[in-house]
């Protein structure tokens, strides 16, 4: 008798929980019946014998449904994220079958006193014949050990990522300068760097699997600042193609992740023991709020140090306690303070799924911690002369690297309440070369420089007062605070519950204190314990679920130039064009999307284009952009050509005199995408947007 014919519910987790609960109740009830013989509480063995097959049948269908859906959700075996930073870089990964386990990279060889080696320096060394030699600590140490005359032939580069942000007309042919002054193609350097991480990650995965790991099973994620323009994002993609991470035939194997977005995704998982709350009004871990700055991070660093041997981080499949305080519509800010840039994003919670909506376009600027290095260099120029420093960097490049390494460890010791001086070792070659260059000693230069807050130690060190060190931080921190102040004055940025401070620079007590002072209690300041790995872990989570960010804001206004019918009184007379008796207005800006416009993930802008001639093989349309919200003509001030939309219409010829190519452009992802179809034949047309060929 078919008594168990019923529809299988689709709510897997709820049903599983209900089934488990029901089974437990049935078993308990049956046991209870055996011992107490209470008729009104009993469930007969016959009832259980009927219900159990039903439960097993349900679980079978649920398991089958889960297995069938699994490949659609996770076409890759593992997600590997590369955090390509200005000062340091690293990778992490998670298997799609174990998304709660995030594994960080193997221990790097080398390291600096007082500096964590959870990541490796973003330094690369090419041999004199311009072939890749080494990356990270290995590159730096090998370069350092070269004979000074020999090192001039090698190409050593560091902190080169910012070139992609600062170059006005970035292209495939953009050059970088090595420490010895020689030029090298930027694309080669970035491709070499990504190839290094690919090799390291695949080797580690192969060692775990006990066999060669297939790159086709990897989904790659590369992090970039959210404030980067489209050319810089495309440049990273081109470097990934050249490095062999992915092929042009399968572009979806690579995801470009925005650094503050990645941090935001990870912060959703934070538990109370994994963060420092600077905005807590009560004692935190035994310290009062006034002691939180510095003390909290000292505790965090100790926590990270104790757990450094473990490279696996468990990310629980639950929302962290902090996040559980947020409700529908709540807003928070993520401030990603890196080596090169500071990125700010404003997100809003969307329930019940907990998806994120970007409320204001990503903002920020080149206010990263390397700004402090530049201030130190300016101080050295003031003491020893710009001409000497320029010559020393070229003639003794390895010694200059040594000096900046010594400064880096002391830079990290700067704090608001520090009272004792900070000693910075001067390399012997600096002291020796200065005497040959000037004819007098370094000590003499310090006495004559009128820089009272830097003294000379007979042990061969510069002794900087705490105030002098703090002064080096001031210009960079002032920029950050000014930007934060302006951001919080915007109508979109009100009632902010939390401000998450992430990135390596977020460890600075000086920056923490400045942000606290600026906010004046308007928002709670949350700092994850492992600030340097927050973006890396979040990038892995983003690779596992790229749809977590449902709504983004357009950073610019995008459109193309078109001809419209000329309207007297509306269009300028000088833009009138008469063609076959019809008056047209040239240079009209056809807007795709405006700056700061809200765009949902997957949302498209549709346009139709027609080839000028039936035999035309490629349609090339210039794309223009502007920071202004309202644009009328492509010749308006601030409007510039930023790329080209190419439609390959070869093979789509049709008998119809007029061919219509319908184009769809997506603006809601981290990159702009284009798709096209021939309306007459319904055939797909190859479409691409190029932002690097100006």
Report whether 19 contacts 62 (CB < 8 A). no
Report whether 595 contacts 627 (CB < 8 A). yes
Quick one: pLDDT band at residue 612, thresholds 50, 70, 90?
A: confident
Which residues make Cβ contacts (< 8 Å) with residue 622, sequence separation at least 6?
560, 561, 641, 643, 644, 645
644 by Cβ neighbours in 10 Å (0-12 / 13-18 / 19+) ranks as middle
> Which of 121 and 107 is assigned the larger pLDDT?
121
The CA angle 531-599-689, to the nearest 5 degrees, is 90
Residue 354 predicted with pLDDT over 70:
no
Collapsed DSSP state (helix, strand, coil) of residue 399: helix
> Which of 493 and 576 is assigned the larger pLDDT?
576
Determine the number of helices (DSSP H) and then strands (DSSP E) in the chain: 18, 32
Residue 495 predicted with pLDDT over 90:
no
Report whether 341 contacts 165 (CB < 8 A). yes
Quick one: pLDDT band at residue 319, thresholds 50, 70, 90?
A: low
Report whether 429 contacts 390 (CB < 8 A). no
Quick one: pLDDT band at residue 320, thresholds 50, 70, 90?
A: low
Which residues make Cβ contacts (< 8 Å) with residue 390, sequence separation at least 6?
none
Quick one: pLDDT band at residue 532, thresholds 50, 70, 90?
A: confident
CA 313 to chain centre: 19
> Which of 96 and 6 is assigned the larger pLDDT?
96
The pLDDT of residue 323: 63
Report whether 249 contacts 226 (CB < 8 A). no
User: How many Å is the maximal CA-CA distance in the chain?
Assistant: 107
Handedness of CA 54, 55, 61, 65 (dihedral sign): positive
Report whether 339 contacts 368 (CB < 8 A). yes
Residue 21 predicted with pLDDT over 60:
no
- What letter would DSSP give residue 573? G
Which residues make Cβ contacts (< 8 Å) with residue 379, sequence separation at least 6?
451, 454, 472
Residue 279 predicted with pLDDT over 80:
no
Question: Tens digit of pLDDT for each residue in 133-163?
Answer: 999 999 998 998 888 788 889 999 999 999 9
Region 85-94: mean pLDDT is: 93
How far apart are alpha carbons 331 and 492 in whole angstroms? Answer: 9
Domains 78-258 and 556-688 share a fold: no
Q: What is the distance in angstroms between the CA of the first residue and the CA of the last residue of the chain?
A: 74
- What letter would DSSP give residue 400? H
How far apart are alpha carbons 355 and 372 in whole angstroms? Answer: 37
Reported pTM: 0.81
**Helix boundaries (H) for 37-174:** 45-73, 137-145, 148-151, 163-166
Quick one: pLDDT band at residue 221, thresholds 50, 70, 90?
A: very high
The pLDDT of residue 652: 55
How far apart are alpha carbons 156 and 181 in whole angstroms? Answer: 10
How far apart are alpha carbons 561 and 478 in whole angstroms? Answer: 41
Residue 406 predicted with pLDDT over 70:
yes
Residue 70 predicted with pLDDT over 50:
no
The pLDDT of residue 357: 87
Question: Tens digit of pLDDT for each residue in 664-683?
Answer: 999 989 999 999 998 888 88
Region 455-480: mean pLDDT is: 91
The pLDDT of residue 28: 43
Residue 499 predicted with pLDDT over 60:
yes
Using the CB atoms, write b or e for 347-377: b if 16+ within 10 Å: bbbeeeeebbbbbbbbbbbbbbbbbbbebbb
Give the residue carrying structure tokens 């190029």: 690
Quick one: pLDDT band at residue 115, thresholds 50, 70, 90?
A: very low
> Which of 273 and 457 is assigned the larger pLDDT?
457
Among 26-40, 77-91, 206-220, 613-627, the minimum mean pLDDT is found in 26-40
Q: Which of 131, 141, 13 is nearest to 65 (CA)?
A: 13
The pLDDT of residue 401: 87
563 by Cβ neighbours in 10 Å (0-12 / 13-18 / 19+) ranks as middle
The H-or-E segment that residue 605 falls in is strand 604-609
Q: Which fold has domain 556-688?
A: Substrate Binding Domain Of DNAk; Chain A, domain 1 (2.60.34)
The pLDDT of residue 52: 37
The CA angle 339-343-349, to the nearest 5 degrees, is 140
Which residues make Cβ contacts (< 8 Å) with residue 161, sequence separation at least 6?
84, 85, 86, 122, 340
Q: What is the CA radius of gyration of the chain?
A: 30
Would you kindly state where each structural domain of the chain is located, as residue ranges? Answer: 78-258, 556-688
Question: Tens digit of pLDDT for each residue in 623-666?
Answer: 999 999 999 999 999 999 999 999 988 865 655 556 788 999 99
Q: What is the mean pLDDT of the chain?
A: 81
Q: Which fold has domain 78-258?
A: Nucleotidyltransferase; domain 5 (3.30.420)
Question: Tens digit of pLDDT for each residue in 283-314?
Answer: 333 333 444 455 444 554 444 444 444 456 55
What are residue 86's phi and psi, to 5 degrees?
A: -70, -45
Q: Dump strand ranges (E) for 342-386.
A: 342-350, 355-365
CA 508 to chain centre: 20
Quick one: pLDDT band at residue 51, thresholds 50, 70, 90?
A: very low
Give the residue carrying structure tokens 């039903």: 54
The pLDDT of residue 634: 95
Question: Tens digit of pLDDT for each residue in 550-589?
Answer: 899 999 999 999 889 999 989 999 999 998 889 999 999 9
- What letter would DSSP give residue 680? T
Handedness of CA 649, 654, 659, 663 (dihedral sign): negative
How far apart are alpha carbons 167 and 214 in whole angstroms? Answer: 36
Report whether 515 contacts 499 (CB < 8 A). yes
Question: Tens digit of pLDDT for each residue in 159-212?
Answer: 999 999 988 889 999 999 998 889 999 999 999 999 999 999 999 999 988 889
Q: In the numeric block, which tokens belong to residue 21?
A: 């609960």
How far apart are alpha carbons 230 and 570 in whole angstroms? Answer: 33
Q: In the numeric block, which tokens belong to residue 138?
A: 């290995």
How far apart are alpha carbons 446 and 408 in whole angstroms? Answer: 21
How far apart are alpha carbons 566 and 577 in whole angstroms? Answer: 8
DSSP per-residue string spanning 45-80: HHHHHHHHHHHHHHHHHHHHHHHHHHHHH--SSEEE
**Helix boundaries (H) for 74-131:** none
Q: How many other C-beta atoms are found inside a 10 Å radius of the C-beta of residue 66?
A: 12
> Which of 347 and 318 is assigned the larger pLDDT?
347
Give the residue carrying structure tokens 């009004």: 281
Q: Which of 269, 279, 115, 254 is nearest to 197 (CA)?
A: 254
């Amino acid at each position: 008798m078919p008594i168990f014919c019923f529809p299988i519910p689709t709510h897997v987790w709820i049903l599983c929980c209900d089934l488990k609960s029901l089974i437990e109740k049935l078993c308990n009830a049956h046991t209870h019946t055996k011992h107490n013989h209470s008729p009104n509480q009993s469930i007969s063995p016959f009832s259980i014998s009927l219900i159990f097959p039903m439960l097993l049948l349900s679980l079978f269908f649920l398991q089958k449904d889960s297995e069938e859906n699994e490949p659609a959700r996770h076409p890759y075996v593992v997600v590997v994220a590369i955090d390509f930073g200005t000062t340091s870089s690293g990778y992490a990964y998670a298997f799609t079958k174990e998304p709660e386990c995030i594994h960080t990279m193997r221990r790097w060889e080398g390291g600096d006193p007082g500096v964590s080696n959870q990541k490796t320096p973003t330094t690369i060394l090419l041999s004199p014949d311009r072939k890749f030699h080494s990356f990270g600590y290995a590159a730096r140490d090998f370069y350092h050990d070269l004979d000074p005359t020999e090192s001039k032939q090698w190409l050593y580069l560091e902190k080169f990522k910012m070139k992609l942000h600062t170059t006005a007309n970035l292209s495939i042919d953009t050059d970088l300068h090595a420490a010895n002054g020689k030029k090298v193609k930027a694309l080669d350097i970035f491709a070499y760097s990504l190839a290094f991480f690919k090799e390291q990650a695949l080797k580690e995965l192969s060692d775990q699997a006990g066999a060669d790991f297939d790159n086709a099973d990897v989904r790659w994620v590369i992090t970039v600042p959210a404030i980067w323009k489209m050319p810089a994002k495309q440049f990273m993609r081109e470097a990934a193609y050249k490095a062999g991470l992915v092929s042009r035939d399968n572009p979806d194997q690579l995801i470009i992740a925005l650094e503050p977005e990645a941090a935001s995704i990870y912060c959703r998982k934070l538990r109370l023991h994994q963060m420092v709350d600077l905005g807590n009004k009560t004692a935190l871990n035994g310290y009062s709020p006034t002691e939180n700055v510095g003390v909290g991070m000292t505790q965090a660093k100790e926590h990270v140090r104790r757990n450094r041997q473990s490279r696996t981080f468990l990310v629980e499949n639950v929302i962290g306690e902090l996040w559980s305080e947020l409700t529908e519509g709540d807003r928070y800010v993520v401030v990603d303070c890196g080596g090169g840039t500071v990125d700010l994003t404003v997100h809003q919670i969307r329930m019940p799924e907990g998806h994120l909506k970007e409320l204001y376009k990503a903002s920020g600027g080149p206010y990263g911690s390397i700004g402090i290095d530049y201030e130190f260099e300016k101080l050295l120029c003031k003491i020893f002369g710009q001409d000497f420093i320029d010559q020393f960097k070229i003639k003794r490049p390895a010694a200059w690297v040594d000096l900046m390494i010594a400064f880096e460890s002391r830079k990290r010791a700067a704090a608001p309440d520090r009272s004792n001086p900070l000693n910075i070792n001067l390399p012997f070659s600096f002291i020796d070369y200065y005497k040959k260059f000037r004819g007098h000693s370094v000590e003499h230069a310090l006495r004559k420089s009128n820089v009272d807050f830097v003294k000379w130690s007979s042990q061969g060190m510069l002794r900087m007062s705490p105030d002098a060190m703090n002064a080096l931080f001031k210009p960079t921190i002032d920029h950050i605070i000014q930007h934060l102040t302006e951001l919080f004055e915007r109508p979109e940025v009100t009632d902010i519950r939390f401000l998450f401070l992430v990135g390596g620079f977020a460890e600075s007590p000086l920056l923490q204190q400045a942000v606290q002072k600026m906010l004046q209690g308007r928002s709670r300041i949350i700092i994850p314990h492992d600030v340097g790995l927050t973006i890396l872990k979040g990038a892995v989570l983003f690779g596992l679920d790229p749809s977590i960010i449902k709504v983004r804001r357009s950073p610019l206004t995008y459109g193309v130039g078109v001809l419209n019918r000329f309207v007297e009184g509306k269009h300028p007379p000088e833009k009138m064009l008469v063609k076959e008796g019809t008056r047209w207005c040239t240079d009209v800006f056809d807007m795709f999307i405006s700056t700061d416009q809200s765009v949902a993930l997957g949302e498209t802008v549709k346009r139709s284009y027609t080839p000028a001639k039936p035999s035309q093989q490629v349609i090339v349309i210039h794309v223009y952009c502007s920071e202004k919200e309202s644009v009328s003509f492509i010749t308006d001030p601030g409007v510039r050509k930023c790329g080209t939309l190419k439609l390959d219409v070869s093979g789509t010829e049709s008998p119809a005199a007029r061919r219509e190519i319908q184009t769809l452009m997506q603006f809601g992802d981290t990159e702009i995408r284009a798709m096209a179809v021939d309306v007459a034949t319904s055939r797909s047309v190859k479409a691409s947007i190029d932002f690097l060929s100006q």
